[in-house]
Structure 1
Amino acid sequence: MLKKKKILIRIGSLRHGGAEKVLVTFLKNISPDKYEVDLLINLYSGIYIKEVPSWVNVFYLLKGEMITTNRPQDIPVKAYRVLYQKMFLWFPSLLYKFVLKNKQYDVELAAIHGYYREILSSPQKDSKKIIWVQNDIFNLKEYTSDVIRQFFKFDKILVISNKLEEEMHKLAQNEAEKQSVIKIFNPIDKEDTLKKANTAIDDYPFDNNIPTFVSVGTVYPQKGYDRLLQVHKRLLDEGFNHQLVIIGDGYDLNNIQTLLEQLGLQKTAKMLGFKSNPYPYLKKADFYIMSSRHEGFPTIIAEALILNKPISATDISGIKDLLQDGKLGTITPNSEDGIYDGMKKFLTDKDLAEEYKKQINDTDLPFVLEKSVQKLQEIIDEV
């Protein structure tokens, strides 16, 4: 019988997010006969916890809900959590001895870029190290060239878009470093997405006869919802009747809700908060709008394609790959004017949406589950 490969995977939590969902989708589709997986979560919380397969061993540093606000009463808890997690980063041998029970690993994987220090500080020098870069780190201030150069200490660097691959290649200092960078599409479970989209909902907030845009994502500044609301107002003022649904929560939620009210958009724009199943709302809307300032691989765009939605998206990492350079949707400049142009196109050109739907329908989408999972397994097997 083949010896199972022992793998340690690290991530912050399993809260709603693209990288978290992708990791759980991957775990649900690999073979327990080939791998023994330990999943170490810093904070045991999130909707995807219950979806982790029972054969995966789950370890955690802390338990409790993620704190997304800055209320004074939350500060002591946040400070304690940060220090507790830092202790294991400073003294990794304590983590491997007391939490992971001295287990030896063949492969250690950082499931998101933010865990590069945790994996590189591992006392297990013989294990192969892999990092999965799920965001456009070249747009994040704290990720200077010197910081990103640290990633080349990993045996393999998985990236999720052509843009990330090109940027990593520019930083590589030799051919071996270039070869360590591998582009892999995030696995999307098409059947699961279609099944969830058919769930009945009774809180859809709008009249079906008015063009409706939907956007789904954690409410952070990077998502550009401030820009989206300004554009929504601008289009309404110009006489373009339409509606907007934003699904998600996050630390910027109150600011965006306040802006919505200041702009007087209560009747035409709705923030529905977090939905564990956003797909029925996506299915009911006419168009998907992405206003993000930066992303890695926007999983929701792949899911919108699966649901055959006409899409307008800002030109961020992963979009050209997903929308096939504009064949499957509108790619606009990453600005307020760009978002405006994209939405206006759908509101003025009635045929455009149908053209995109036909193109999506006729295209073999590259991020299908089986292909991505197979490639990731090959990387782990060969490392």
Structure 2
Amino acid sequence: MVKKLIFIMPSLTSGGGEKSLVTLLNKLDYNKYSVDLFLLSHEGLFMEFVPKEVRILPLPKNFTIFSLPLLKSIGKFLLNGSVGLAYNRAMFTFRNRSLKNVALREQYNWKYISKSLGLIKGPYHAAIGFLEKTSTYICIDKVDSATRKIGWVHIDYDQLGMDPLFDQIYFSKLDQIVTVSEECANVLESRFPEQKDKVKVIYNIVSPTIINKMAEQGQAELFGKKENQIVIVSIGRLHYQKNFVMAIETCKMLIDRGYNISWNVIGDGEEKQKLMELIKEYGLEENFKLLGLKSNPYPYVKQADIYSQTSRFEGKSIAIDEAKILNKPIIVTNFTTAKDQIVQGVDGIISEMNADDLANEIEKLINDVALRERLSATLAKQQLGTEDEIEKFYELIG
């Protein structure tokens, strides 16, 4: 008998969680499972990779109105006689402007957004909120019938400054809480000891076969690399978490030390303008480039000399796993889960989280070609890839 599943995600715009979901959907056995996907936005980088077997549920009419600019949204609700929804839309904007912490905003705004979402009719064998916060809240409050309800946490919970008391209410109603690394699991078990028995680790699924195949696509020379130039690539949302301000500062230090650096960032986000201004201030327009989103970033990583991840915190970085599969010399900052992915000096370098130390470690990699070759050779011998994690998922949903 085919089992019916629903996955819930805010969008498939970009990001590790979003990529992880699309990869999982492409690994599912559709002879055994029927899949619905509920999104709050039907636009995004990864939409084209959703398998044809997946049914994307339509957006609720009231949420479509809720998503309009403030005055237009309120006007439409009032014309429809929906005074309560107009009030909720106004309060949503007020909360956004009064709360600086983005994660808290998302938590506390749920009560306003939720009124614009109707019930999602089941029955489902399993409902899966595939990202922390809103996806989990929809899973609990809006899926009317599911045998099992599962929530995914893709980050180190303590790093976003969320309200654990708010999430405790929802976590207590979940059958399982899945996270992506042992360190993330330790944090959840410590923060929510009452839910300890529900916590399970399932790694993000990455496929070496697909990544290596996609890495061969595209132009033979993407960077127009000059003689003695070192090409560094980073992937991530242009967001405080990814710490690209420090990457720019590090690039400036390396340039001042006489190195010809081409540092290329693949991603987009709310810090773009801030980063562009800093690049201009430091005169790095030719050395530090924001390339935007790329549906296939792998040729860029493959052609890089070094892959760098400057994050303040991560759950388990898919981008690092992908760079490992492409056998790149990798340097990351010492965020709490870095050691889950990198063995210091064996298959990568972990630097302190400051520009001075990062510049020093990159300088060592630049000057020590043998070290770069040794790191790459070690990665080439490792059994990388996590396709077998799909079996853990099947076991999870029963």
TM-score range, shorter chain: 0.7 to 0.9
Q: Equivalent residue for 1:281?
A: 300
Structure 1 residue 123: Cα displacement: 5.7
Q: Does 1:129 align with 2:146?
A: no
Q: Aligned AA for 2:176?
A: K
Secondary structure of 2:59's match?
strand
Structure 1 residue 347: Cα displacement: 2.1
Structure 1 residue 181: Cα displacement: 0.7
Q: In the aligned structure 2, how far is the partner of 1:110 from the partner of 1:54?
A: 21
Q: Aligned AA for 2:203?
A: F
Q: Equivalent residue for 2:396?
A: 379
Q: Does 1:331 align with 2:355?
A: no
Q: In the aligned structure 2, how far is the partner of 1:341 from the partner of 1:135?
A: 28
Secondary structure of 1:378's match?
helix
Structure 1 residue 208: Cα displacement: 5.8
Preserved CA contact (<8 Å) 1:205 1:270 = no
Q: Equivalent residue for 1:9?
A: 7
Identity of aligned residues (%): 29
Preserved CA contact (<8 Å) 1:149 1:171 = no
Q: Equivalent residue for 2:184?
A: 164
Q: In the aligned structure 2, how far is the partner of 1:172 from the partner of 1:13?
A: 27
Q: Equivalent residue for 1:197?
A: 215
* Cα deviation digits, residues 105-134 of structure 1 (max 9, x gap): 121111101222212213636531111111
- Provide closer, same or farther for how the CA distance between residues 246 and 112 of structure 1 changes in structure 2, counting only shifts above 3 A: same
Q: Equivalent residue for 1:268?
A: 287
Secondary structure of 2:190's match?
helix
Equivalent of residue 250 in structure 2, options 214, 231, 246: 231
- Provide closer, same or farther for how the CA distance between residues 244 and 164 of structure 1 changes in structure 2, counting only shifts above 3 A: same
- Provide closer, same or farther for how the CA distance between residues 334 and 42 of structure 1 changes in structure 2, counting only shifts above 3 A: same
Q: In the aligned structure 2, how far is the partner of 1:47 from the partner of 1:78?
A: 26
Q: Equivalent residue for 1:180?
A: 198
Preserved CA contact (<8 Å) 1:88 1:95 = no
Equivalent of residue 52 in structure 1, options 47, 50, 53: 50
Q: In the aligned structure 1, how far is the partner of 2:270 from the partner of 2:60?
A: 21
Q: Equivalent residue for 1:259?
A: 278
Structure 1 residue 243: Cα displacement: 2.2
Q: Equivalent residue for 1:250?
A: 269
Preserved CA contact (<8 Å) 1:297 1:317 = no
Q: Aligned AA for 2:290?
A: M
Q: Does 1:89 align with 2:89?
A: no
* Cα deviation digits, residues 86-108 of structure 1 (max 9, x gap): 6662376x332xxxxx3311211
Structure 1 residue 280: Cα displacement: 0.9
Secondary structure of 2:142's match?
coil
Equivalent of residue 158 in structure 2, options 132, 138, 150: 138
Q: Aligned AA for 2:200?
A: I
Structure 1 residue 305: Cα displacement: 0.5
* Cα deviation digits, residues 183-234 of structure 1 (max 9, x gap): 1110012111111111132652432641211111121121111111111111
Q: In the aligned structure 2, how far is the partner of 1:290 from the partner of 1:164?
A: 18
Q: In the aligned structure 1, how far is the partner of 2:320 from the partner of 2:35?
A: 29
Structure 1 residue 62: Cα displacement: 6.7
Task: Write the mapping of 1:14-93 to structure 2, written as runs, cut at 5 A.
Answer: 14-61=12-59, 76=71, 83=89, 89-90=114-115
Q: Equivalent residue for 2:138?
A: 118
Q: Equivalent residue for 1:358?
A: 377
Q: In the aligned structure 1, how far is the partner of 2:51 from the partner of 2:22?
A: 8
Q: Aligned AA for 1:188?
A: V
Which runs of 5 or more residues in structure 1 are unaligned?
A: 64-72, 97-101
Preserved CA contact (<8 Å) 1:332 1:338 = yes
- Provide closer, same or farther for how the CA distance between residues 148 and 95 of structure 1 changes in structure 2, counting only shifts above 3 A: closer
**TM-score under structure 1 normalisation?**
0.86
The number of aligned residues is: 360
Secondary structure of 1:6's match?
strand
